[in-house]
């Protein structure tokens, strides 16, 4: 397994790069925008294809690299369902997994530091964001933080993991790189409390100054979709109503780019063909189903995904590969549902 822990000295942020082996798909957790070029050269050096970029929560102390990585690599951006970011490709819930080639991370909703804080666990390690730090815990005094929720996330979720589970936080200010659940349970000073009230008493009296760049960084991290619209050209975007009318005229071939788990959870638009975004490269070769569909139904292909991010990226890829007349559903299935659109589900 390839596992790289990278450090941003300005915000003391840890970023993690994971892949099964050289030449495989990779996933990055909590990337920092200033270091995106370093990540790209590291990916190239290790012959890795970045397919997913994940943030544990909306950060207040550094600007996320999610949007820039998406623009440069066409990776899928992932956050928890409670995230206030305007556009991410995929939102995950408690107990759902984030999967790339040979790696699967289970989602644990761990609010308290913020209301959109998630941890991600594999068999032997957990990425805790700011929910659990080494010898500390994330502050709870902004972004809808709540010390009692934090207590619950810590004591009823993270500390219930096996003691030998490695802990990799989003920050460390003292040069520590990793810990274990067992060590933190026994030694982390913040965790030596007997009740949520006692924990809240500590957290409510920390009196910390706000992070230096907070006022600029939080809004930036909530608008990572702002560069996305540049990918789509006039006439390439369809509103739900237009898609509905085109379908009724039998004038649209709908392509669902989401993953199987998202389809099972949220359903799909009737008569759509399922081609996961991750299969796009092979689907656009001479023998790919999408190639055949696009050739046979020129001007009728309509791509959609969860929120319109993967479909915009795929649209750009297809246009660059020479396919013409491809369009996408703006805002994805979320917009479809908002407009009263119906979905089918497995029975």
For Fe ion, give the closer residue by CB, 46 or 142. 142
Mind giving me the DSSP string for 195-260? SHHHHHHHHTT--PPPPTTHHHHHHHHH-TTTTGGGGSPTTSEE-HHHHHHHHHTT--EEEE-S-H
Rounded to the nearest 10°, the torsion over CA 125, 129, 130, 133 is: 20
For Fe ion, give the closer residue by CB, 199 or 307. 199
Of 10-18, 78-86, 125-133, 298-306, the window that binds Fe ion (rule: CB under 5 A) is 125-133
- Shortest separation between residue 218's beta carbon and Fe ion, angstroms: 10
Phi, psi (degrees; rounded to nearest 5) at 150: -60, -40
- Shortest separation between residue 60's beta carbon and Fe ion, angstroms: 6
130 counts as binding Fe ion under rule CB under 5 A: yes
Of 97-105, 122-130, 150-158, 183-191, the window that binds Fe ion (rule: CB under 5 A) is 122-130
Of 130-138, 151-159, 161-169, 307-315, the window that binds Fe ion (rule: CB under 5 A) is 130-138
User: What whole-number distance in Å separates Cα of residue 289 and Cα of residue 84?
Assistant: 36
User: What whole-number distance in Å separates Cα of residue 147 and Cα of residue 222?
Assistant: 23
Residue of 136, 138, 112, 106 whose CA lies nearest to 124: 106
- Shortest separation between residue 135's beta carbon and Fe ion, angstroms: 16
Which residue's C-beta sits nearest to Fe ion? Answer: 130
For Fe ion, give the closer residue by CB, 190 or 328. 190
For Fe ion, give the closer residue by CB, 8 or 130. 130
- Shortest separation between residue 12's beta carbon and Fe ion, angstroms: 11
- The encoded tokens of residue 339 equal 């407009």
For Fe ion, give the closer residue by CB, 142 or 183. 142
User: What whole-number distance in Å separates Cα of residue 322 and Cα of residue 299?
Assistant: 13
Interacting residue ranges for Fe ion, rule: CB under 5 A: 130
């Amino acid at each position: 397994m390839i596992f790289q822990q990278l450090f941003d000295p300005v915000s003391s942020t840890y970023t993690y790069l994971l892949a099964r082996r050289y030449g495989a798909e990779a996933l990055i957790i909590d990337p920092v925008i200033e270091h995106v070029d370093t990540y790209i050269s590291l990916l190239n050096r290790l012959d890795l294809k970045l397919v997913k970029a994940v943030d544990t929560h909306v950060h207040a102390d550094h600007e996320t690299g999610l949007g820039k990585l998406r623009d440069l690599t066409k990776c899928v951006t992932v956050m928890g369902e409670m995230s206030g970011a305007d556009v991410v490709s995929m939102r995950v819930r408690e107990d759902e997994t984030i999967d790339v080639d040979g790696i699967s991370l289970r989602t644990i909703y761990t609010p308290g530091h913020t209301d959109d804080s998630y941890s991600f666990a594999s068999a032997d390690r957990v990425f805790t964001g700011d929910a659990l730090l080494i010898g500390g815990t994330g502050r709870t005094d902004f972004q809808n933080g709540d010390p009692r929720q934090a207590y619950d996330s810590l004591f009823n979720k993270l500390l219930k993991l096996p003691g030998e589970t490695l802990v990799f936080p989003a920050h460390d200010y003292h040069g520590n790189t990793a810990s274990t659940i067992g060590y933190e349970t026994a030694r982390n000073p913040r965790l030596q409390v007997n009740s949520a009230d006692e924990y809240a008493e500590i957290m409510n009296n920390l009196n910390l100054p706000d992070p230096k760049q907070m006022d600029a960084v939080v809004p930036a991290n909530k608008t990572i979709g702002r560069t996305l619209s540049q990918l789509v050209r006039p006439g390439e975007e369809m509103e739900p109503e237009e898609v509905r009318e085109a379908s009724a005229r039998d004038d649209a071939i709908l392509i669902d780019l989401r993953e199987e788990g998202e389809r099972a959870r949220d359903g799909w638009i009737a008569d759509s063909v399922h081609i996961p975004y991750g299969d796009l490269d092979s689907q656009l070769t001479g023998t790919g189903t999408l190639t055949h569909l696009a050739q046979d139904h020129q001007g009728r292909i309509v791509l959609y995904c969860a929120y319109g991010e993967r479909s915009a990226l795929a649209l750009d890829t297809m246009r660059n590969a020479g396919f013409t007349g491809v369009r996408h559903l703006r805002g994805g299935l979320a917009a479809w549902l908002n407009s009263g659109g119906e979905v089918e589900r497995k029975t």
